[in-house]
Amino acid sequence: MSESRVRPPGIELAGVTRTYGERGPDEVRALRGIDLGIPPGTFVSVEGPSGCGKTTLLNLLALLDAPTSGEVRWDGRTVGTRSERERARLRLAGVGFIFQRFYLLPTLTARENVELPMRALRTARAERARRASELLAEVGLGGRERAYPHQLSGGEEQRVAVARALANRPGLLLADEPTGELDSTNALAILDLLERVRRDRDATLVLVTHNPAVAARARRHITMADGRITSDVAGA
Amino acid sequence: MTLFGRRGSLRHARLQLVLAVAAVGVAVALPVVLVSVGGGVSAHELHDLENAGYQIVVSAPGLHGIADSHSLTERMLSISGVSAASPVLSAGIDTFGASGGPTAALAEGVIPAEFLPTLGPSENGLFPSPLPLGDPMDLVHFANGTYQGHATLDVIVSSPFAAAQNLETGQTLYLGPSANRSQAVGYTITGIFGVPPNLLGPIGAFAVVLPLSDLQVITGYGPAATAVVPDASDTIEVAVAGSVSADPSALSSVEAQIQRLVPYYGVSSLNQEATELQQASGVLTGFYLALSSVGLTIGLLFLALVLLRRVEADRRSIGIRRALGVPGRQIAGGIVAEGLFLAALGGVAGVVAGYLIVEAIATFATSTVQEAAQLAIFVPATLAAIVGGVLALSLLASAIATRAALRIEITEALR
Ligand SMILES: Nc1ncnc2c1ncn2[C@@H]1O[C@H](COP(=O)(O)OP(=O)(O)OP(=O)(O)O)[C@@H](O)[C@H]1O
Ligand SMILES: [Mg+2]
C-alpha cells in the first residue's frame, strides 16, 4: 500500500482566467492570467490574501471547474475544458481533494465515506473493505471505522477526509486549507500525514494555506495576489 | 440521497415522504375503485348473458313491438335446430285485490310452454313446471281463426308480491291497464314463482306472469270484445339445440334464417352481445383510466416536488459526491430508486385503499351503489398494470429531480 498506482500527471496552466458572473459591474475576475507548470511528484504551497483566487485556482487544477479562457493540461492533453462527465471521470481516478470544511457525508460512517470513491469506481466489495480499513488505520483511526462524522472530532474528521482522498490512489492531491479549521496540534498532525502519504506515494501535493508555518513545509512556494501569481520560489 | 437522513429537519423530511406516498396512494385508489367495480358489473352482466337459456334475440325498434308474435313463433319453431321460441311482452299494469288497490306490478306475457325452456340456470327452478297457465301454447284465442277474448284467466305471481299482498293460490286478482278498477278483469292465481337474487336486473319484485295474449288484451286499446289487438311482443327469445349453440357456424345459419323471416327486426345472438358488452366494458375501463390520469398527474407532480425538495436539501451532499467524481449516472440512480420506492409504496397503499373503499361501500352503502360494489372484482393483472404504470410515470418525476441534481454547480454547492 505504499506505491502510487496512478502516476501523477504533469500539470500545465497556460493563460488561464476565470471570471465569475455576467460581464459588467458585477463580474469578478478571480484569475487574471495564470501560467504555471507543476511537474509530477512535487509539493507546492499556494499562499495569498483572502479573495486572491487560491480556491479558484485549486478548483481548476482539480477539474472541478472550467477556465473562462486559457488551457489546463495534464501531460500535455487539454483537460480543463472537457465535458463535466469526462472531468468527473478524471477526477474520480486521478484527484484526491481535501476540503477546508472536511465535507464528509453526514449519513455515512467513516468507513463508508472512505469507500465512497471506490464504490463509484465499482471496486469489488472485499477490496473496498480491505483498502478502507488500511487507509483508516494509516491515518490513525483504526478503531473508529463505524463512527459517524458527528461522533468525531474536527481533527479526526479531517483524517477521514484524507483517507477518502487517497481511496482511489490518485496521483494528484489537492488540499484547500486543510488545517484551517483545526487547532495547531491537529493541524500539525494532518500536515505530517499529508507529507508522509505524498512521499510514500510519490504524489503531487498542492496545498493552499494562509499559514506561513504550514507553507514552509513545501518545496515550492507560490504566492498570489488579486488573481495573479506574484512569486513562485523553490526551496525549503 | 438516503431515505432517512440523520441530519436536518428529520420530522419535516418524513412528513414530506408520507405526503408523497399518500398523494400517489389517493391517485391510485381512484382507478382501482372505478376499474374493479366497473369490471365487476360488466362481468356480472356477461355472466347473465352467458347463462341465459336462449341464444338468439329478435327485437323490434320503436314502440309497436314485434307484430304477429304467435304465428312468427310457430314459424321460428319450424326452423331446424330451434328448440324453443318465446315471445315476451312486458308491461306495467295495475292490480286489485278483492277490495282496495290499485297496486302497480310488472306483467310479463308469455307462451307458457315456450317460456320455461328459455330460462337460464339461475331462474329455472323458480317457476312451477309446467307453467299452470291453462293453454300451454296460448292458442285458444286463435281457435276460430279470429283473435279474441281472454282465454284462461290464469295468472302466477311473484313470491314477494304474494307476501306483500297476502295473496294465495286460488284467490282472485284483478288486473287492469289503469288505476280504474272498472276496467280490471278477475284472474285466478294458479301459482307463485320465486324471484332470482338479481342484483342489478330491471325486473321489480312485484311481478306477475300470464299468457301473452291475455296481457295483449289487457294492454290493448279498448274492451276485449271490440279491440283490434296487434298480437305484439317486445322480444322473441330463441333457444337452439345444444349441438347448434356449440357450433358458431350452425348458430349463425339459424340466426340468418330467422333474420330472413323478419328482415325488418333486429336479430342478434347473445355471443354477439357478449362481444359488444366486452368491448363496451373495455372502452369504459379506458375511460376510467383516462379520468384517473388527472389524479395521477397531481400525485406524480407532488412526488416530483418532494423529490426536488430533497435534492435541494441534499445539495451539499450531492455537491460532495460530484466533487469526488461520482458519475452523474450513479447520483441519478439514487434518485430514481427513491422515486420508484415511494411510488411503489404509494401504489400498494392505493390498491389497499381502493380495496378497502370498495369493501366499505359494499358493506355500508345503500341500494344500487352497494350492489355494484358487491360485484367488484379485483383482477391482479389489472392492479399490477395500474401500479406498473405509476412506477413508469414516477421515472418522469425522478427525471425532473435528477436534472436539478445534475445542474447543481459543484463549486457553488461547496462554498
Ligand atoms: N461562485 C462565485 N461567484 C462569484 N464570485 C466568486 C465565486 N467564487 C469566488 N468568487 C470570488 O472570486 C474571488 C476569488 O475567490 P477565491 O475563493 O478563489 O479566493 P480565495 O483566495 O480562496 O480566498 P479565501 O482565502 O478567503 O478562501 C473572490 O473575490 C470571490 O469573492
Ligand atoms: Mg479559498
What element of type H or E holds A122?
A: none
Q: What phi, psi does B136 have (nearest 5°)?
A: -60, -35
Within 10 angstroms of residue B345's Cβ, the number of other Cβ atoms is 17
Verify whether the Cβ–Cβ distance B410 to A64 is below 8 Å. Answer: yes
Write down the pLDDT at residue B270: 82
Look at residue B282 and tell me whether its pLDDT is greater than 80.
yes
Write down the pLDDT at residue A189: 87
Within 10 angstroms of residue A7's Cβ, the number of other Cβ atoms is 15
Verify whether the Cβ–Cβ distance B323 to A103 is below 8 Å. Answer: yes
* Ramachandran sector of residue A23 (left: φ over 0; alpha: ψ -120 to 50; beta: rest): beta
Of residues B215 and A144, more confidence is placed in A144
Interface of A with B in 103-142 (CB under 8 A): 103-107, 116-117, 120
Of residues B4 and B187, more confidence is placed in B187
pLDDT tens, residue by residue, B121-139: 777 788 988 889 888 888 7
**Mutation probe of ligand 1 site: the residue of A55, A214, A224 with most atoms within 8 A of C-beta:** A55
Chain B CA closest to residue A102: B320
C-alpha dihedral sign at B240, B242, B244, B248: positive
pLDDT tens, residue by residue, B61-83: 766 688 888 888 989 999 998 99
What element of type H or E holds A228?
A: strand A228-234
pLDDT tens, residue by residue, B9-42: 667 888 889 999 999 999 999 999 999 999 898 8
CA atoms within 13 Å, Cβ hemisphere of B98: 6
How many Å from the N-terminal Cα to the C-terminal Cα in chain A?
28
Tell me the whole-structure pTM to 2 decimals: 0.72
Look at residue B199 and tell me whether its pLDDT is greater than 60.
no
Instruction: Identify the band that residue B330 occupies on the pLDDT scale cut at 50, 70 and 90.
Output: very high
Set out the domains of chain A in order of their start, with CATH numbers. Answer: 40-64+89-234 (3.40.50.300)
Q: What residues does ligand 1 touch, defined as CB less than 6 Å away?
A: A 20-21, 28, 30, 48, 50-56; B 412
CB A16 within 8 A of CB A78: no
The residue-averaged pLDDT of A158-175 equals: 95
Distance A154 CA to ligand 1 centre (A): 24
Instruction: Identify the band that residue B195 occupies on the pLDDT scale cut at 50, 70 and 90.
Output: confident
